[in-house]
Structure 1
Amino acid sequence: MSPLLLSDPLVSALPVAENGEPLVELHPGIAPGGARVRAALADRLYRADLSLPPGIRLLVVEGHRSAADQQRIIDAYTAQVRAAHPGATGPELDRLVSRFVAPIDVAPHVAGAAVDLTLVDESGQQLDLGTTIDATPEESRGRCYFAAPDISLEARALRLVLGDALTSAGLVNYPTEWWHWSYGDRYWALMTGAARAHYGAVGSRVPAGAVR
């Protein structure tokens, strides 16, 4: 069964009740690069980090993304998809692109509601979860999917550790990207049965906050 993608009309049909929650900068202990996310998502990430087995921690590599940055990724990957799938046009092209990057109007990163993350050991070295973060379906031959069968047993075990911690903290995974997890966006609402999303695209009504 194919995963439900962000381009599906069911996602965009969900309403958003923007709650104005601020973006906060994640603690450098889990986000050395200074990723920013909504405050409630930050709290859930800290909870997930504390629940991991000894010697393993979260490493967040990206949080909020501007609409302009999102569009640049869409444009670049659309060109790759056209080259790899020359017969794809219209809705089929949109579907293929959304395996890797969300349409702007529903993009969790643009809402400050998503993170790209992995696991590291005590020395801060990234653990092997089967592919690099941001490996496309074409580059990875589908191994970027969370449930991909053709990865090592060690990588599978680590994905399950990551998934258990984040799911228990209230996040949902985008199944075509093992590293992408969100809370409060439209995709999260659809997957959890919530009536509406908490967060829309970050705009003037969403103030920036301090480091948490």
Structure 2
Amino acid sequence: MNVTDSTLRPIDPIAEPPWETIAAIPIVDEGGALHPVSLAAPMLRTLPLYHALGVPGAVPECWAREAVYRRLLEVARHLPDGLGLVVLDAWRPYVVQRHLYDTLLEMVETRYADLDESDRRAMTRAFVSPPSERVDRPSPHLTGGAVDVALCDADGLLLDMGSAFDEARAASHTVHFEHHAGDADTRTYRDRRRILYHAMVDAGFANLPSEWWHYSYGDQMWAWYRGESCALFGPSGPDSLEARWRRSLGQDA
């Protein structure tokens, strides 16, 4: 693995997202279909983890907007030798978002029953956004602009990043090992996160600071972190046979 000094530059502190401000950012949806990321193989690897784990409603493909798809390829092409990019999740159906949020919230409420409800919901939101199909404030993954990614080795095996994907603990925060790298293992986690972070941000993505794996392009969170006046993507979904029939019948009418 050839790693340059610039690739391993530290990750600067990332501001916590002001969700109400973010939700007020206007969306000027430029349209565009979702594309199956698996088409980019072997340059990109996909592992639709929620489907593999049996989450109700999860789909067996990672779908993303074209601008996201192309930027992921850019990231994969610029990773150091011996490293690959794995997409774990991208577009996410509402029913999956609902299941993830409700399940984690229930666990947080049980574990932290002594906290105020607002605090428990804030803890949950750090790792799972509240489900929303609203045109003006959709859940990030519903837009096709948010992706969950990880690094793998040359054989496709996922690399240890210091916490597992979707692990709801402090070690999952992107900059955690910038401050807790006291031995060889933790320095390795820190460096791998640096490689992933800078590759993604340099390609135009924005990172959710509580999740080293979550990046977005074109959604409202991306717009806030990147200083854009509007978001590019609203709610979306893969095309369906029924939708194609409806369009063709409408055109024939």
Report the Cα distance in structure 2 between the residues aligned to 1:86 and 1:104, rounded to whole angstroms: 22
Q: Using CA pairs below 8 Å that are at least 6 residues apart, which structure has the higher relative contact order? A: 1
Q: Does 1:35 align with 2:62?
A: yes
1:145 partnered with 2:173: yes
- Distance in 2 (CA, whole Å) between partners of 1:154 and 1:64 is 30
> Which residue identity does 1:175 align to in structure 2?
P
Q: Which residue of 2 aligns with 1:193?
A: 227
Aligned to 2:247: none
Which residue does 1:97 correspond to in 2? Answer: 124
Q: Deviations over 1:152-196 (max 9, x none)?
A: 000100100001110110001101000111100000001111111
Deviations 1:139-163 (A, max 9, x none): xxx0000001335000100100001
Runs of 4 or more above 4 Å deviation: none
Stretches of structure 1 lacking an aligned partner (at least 5 in a row) = none
Partner AA of 1:88 in structure 2: L
Decide which structure has greater helix share.
2
Q: Give CA deviations for 1:25-64 in whole Å, capped at 9, x if unaligned.
A: 1123323343111110000000011010011010111111
Which whole-Å CA distance do the structure 2 matches of 1:2 and 1:195 have between them?
20
**% of aligned pairs identical?**
27
> Among residues 181, 195, 201, which one is paired with 2:215 in the alignment?
181
Deviates more, 1:46-55 or 1:143-152: 143-152
- Tell me which moved more, 79-88 or 10-19: 79-88
Residue range with higher mean Cα deviation, 26-35 or 70-79: 26-35
Q: TM-score, normalised by structure 2?
A: 0.74
- Residue equivalent to 2:144: 112
Relative to structure 1, is the Cα distance of residues 2 and 53 closer, same or farther in structure 2, using a 3 angstrom cutoff?
A: closer
Q: Distance in 1 between matches of 2:211 and 2:171?
A: 9
Give the Cα–Cα distance (whole angstroms) in 2 for the partners of residues 100 and 196 of structure 1.
24
Is the radius of gyration larger for structure 1 or structure 2? 2
User: Any unmatched runs of 5+ in structure 2?
Assistant: 1-12, 48-60, 133-137, 241-253
Q: Aligned AA for 1:4?
A: E
Identify the residue that residue 88 of structure 2 maps to in structure 1: 61
Whether the 8 Å CA contact 1:143–1:150 is kept in 2: the answer is: no
Matches of 1:87 and 1:202, distance apart in 2: 38
Give the drift of 1:120: 0.6
Alignment of 1:70-89 (within 5 A): 70-89=97-116
Give the paired residue count: 201
Instruction: Give distance in 1, aligned partners of 2:66 and 2:87.
Output: 15
State the partner residue of 2:23.
12
Q: Does 1:125 align with 2:157?
A: yes
Shift of 1:92: 2.5
TM superposition score normalised by structure 1:
0.88
